[in-house]
Amino acid sequence: MDTILVVNAGSSSVKFQVFEITGKGELDRLIKGQIDGIGVRPRLRGEGAARKSLIDRSFEAGEIADIPAAMQAAANWLRDGQNLEPSAVGHRVVHGGPNYDRPMLIDDAVLGELERYVPLAPLHQPNNLAPIRAIRGRFPNLPQVACFDTAFHRGHDPVVDHFAIPERFYNEGVRRYGFHGLSYEFIAQRLQAIAPDIARKRVIVAHLGSGASMCALSDGRSIESTMGFTALDGLPMGTRPGQIDPGVLLYLIQQKGMDAGTVQELLYHDCGLKGISGVSNDMRELLASAIPGAALAVDYFVYRVALQTGMLASALGGLDAFVFTAGVGENSPMIRARISEKLGWLGAELDSAANGAAGTVISTPKSRVAIYVVPTDEELMIARHTLKAVTECKTTSLGSG
């Protein structure tokens, strides 16, 4: 059985999925799993079709102390417990920098280039690269493909990508990239299937989760995004602040005596919904809390989404549809309702019943802006890219022979 393993590694967890390559060249999801609590309370879980549990095993902290050990545990289970050995591995890599505008087969040169972007995504990039190194160390001939969250946005006009700083910095790669591109690419393709007329028009997609951003699509292409040079910009997130005056950072350094490392820790781990509420970075907990700080955090999140919608609608020259996706966007009728209410000036009108029932279309028939809820699937997008990259490589090799 030919399969593709998809890996999405975080700081204390590794999520993975296995897809079978069918005879028609399509992809069927076989397994969805993750190892979390790495180094603390490691736990391996995996499920198959119809969400049937295949494994739920806990380990001692020392047994799975880091990401390479987690990858080894997952590989052992897939091989010994499920009789699966992937023919290729696809990885989510957050930052592709200025040079990579498409998925890439990984070799030493590509891996070295990606290591240069660790300072641009310190919360994600080191963890994205760790399993790549681990797999290359044990299986050097196994094809691995890096799929970048920045790639979908690389076609932006230069006026969109620039900061108002000296041009030499832009030439060095200091520019607005945009992130969550794998999610937006999936949504753009999904809209072609469920709403082909809308897919060709002016659409804003709101990827609202622990990490949050928004993207303006025109004819299925990204033309603007709320995130910029790093994944700190734009919307407030679970623990990241979103848009912030650079003068605040200068104040923290010059007047509060913080060094760069301390400021980085603050921006990535202690701001956003967590910072405002003083309670939690989880939207579910904030909505259920009676603490004033929790209400303020929710109000702020909704306000900033509405504010950024105006910016993206301006970039599009109008708006035909608004799409909610990701954890909060897909699962919180309350947040969808509150955001939709603020989009009334654009002609958006929510159907409360459809919203409560988690319908695909949650706007009324007379709404001038169609409102959708479309579940994202970054892992399937990665699997598709991996299959294509490996297939093209084989075809090229045969052709050159």
Task: Give the integer Cα–Cα distance in Å for 54 and 65.
Answer: 23
Task: Give the integer Cα–Cα distance in Å for 388 and 375.
Answer: 23
Beta bridge partners of 204: 216, 322
Which pair of structure tokens corresponds to residue 389? 């990259």
Is residue 91 a contact partner of residue 7, using CB atoms and an 8 Å limit? yes
Is residue 16 a contact partner of residue 36, using CB atoms and an 8 Å limit? no
Task: Give the integer Cα–Cα distance in Å for 111 and 93.
Answer: 11
Q: What angle do CA 323, 358, 332 make, to 5 degrees?
A: 75
Beta bridge partners of 64: none
**Residues sharing a CB contact under 8 Å with residue 216, sequence separation 6 or more, in sequence order:** 202, 203, 204, 222, 223, 224, 225, 312, 313, 315, 316
Helix or strand run (H / E) with residue 355: helix 352-356
Looking at 149, 161, 233, 320, which residue is catalytic?
A: 149
* Coil, helix or strand at residue 88: strand
**Residues sharing a CB contact under 8 Å with residue 166, sequence separation 6 or more, in sequence order:** none
CA separation, residue 275 to residues 153, 279, 280, 305 (Å): 29, 8, 8, 18
CA separation, residue 26 to residues 91, 117, 177, 185, 227 (Å): 19, 33, 31, 18, 32
Task: Give the integer Cα–Cα distance in Å for 183 and 177.
Answer: 15
**Residues sharing a CB contact under 8 Å with residue 117, sequence separation 6 or more, in sequence order:** 95, 96, 97, 125
Q: Is 233 a catalytic residue?
A: no
Known catalytic residues are 149
